[in-house]
Amino acid sequence: MAIDTNELAALRPDMTRFAYLLLRDAHAVEDIVQTTMLTAIEKQDGFKNNSSLKTWLFTILRNKTIDALRRGNREVSISDLSVDDNDDMEEVLFNQHGSWNQEAKPTTWGNPEASFEQSEFWVVFNACLHNLPEQTSRVFMMREFLEFEVDDICKELKLSTSNCWVTLHRARAKLRLCLDTNWFSGQGFQESRR
């Protein structure tokens, strides 16, 4: 089956955003996206319509991104390894026992799976993810989207295991708060940087 190059080109912005959240290097992202598109064209006979073109393409992109991360195409500076700027958020959200503070407790999300079907949800999710500190979003993406094991993330990013788990916890808490505020509460997304 021949791949429609217009459809392929239409997916390019989504692929670029996905790769940038992981690599944070415009040149590396461009290389990965180009390589992904070239691979898709070269191996289009392998696309059997068992999934959508986007799913198939993002599987290729995911694998290319993992390869790039494992090859060490991106160096991580010491400043990237520092703790998030917003350490006080933990104290605002949670009490000394690790439970939610009543004022910060998120609302009930109803049926979150239904949100996953809406393209608008993913716009808000991507904005929330983009607003995380760079190292936090990278760790989250490696774990949740690329399905790296924590030990592999630690090795790739030169993090301690405990730092990685704390970073994942903070990422999930911040994403939860952002989604609760900007999606599940019915308000529109209001961009606010870190």
pTM over 0.75: no
CA distance linking residue 155 with residue 163, whole number of Å: 12
Q: What is the pLDDT of residue 167?
A: 92
Q: What is the pLDDT of residue 190?
A: 43
CA distance linking residue 81 with residue 48, whole number of Å: 42
* pLDDT digits 0-9 by tens, 23-39: 878 888 899 999 998 88
Q: Which residue has the higher pLDDT, 79 or 142?
A: 142
Indicate the DSSP class of residue 81: G
Residue 100: pLDDT band with limits 50, 70, 90: low
Report domain extents, the chain: 5-71, 79-184
Residue 117: pLDDT band with limits 50, 70, 90: low
* Domain 79-184 part of CATH 3.40.50.2300: no
Into which CATH architecture does domain 5-71 fall? Orthogonal Bundle (1.10)
CA distance linking residue 161 with residue 43, whole number of Å: 38
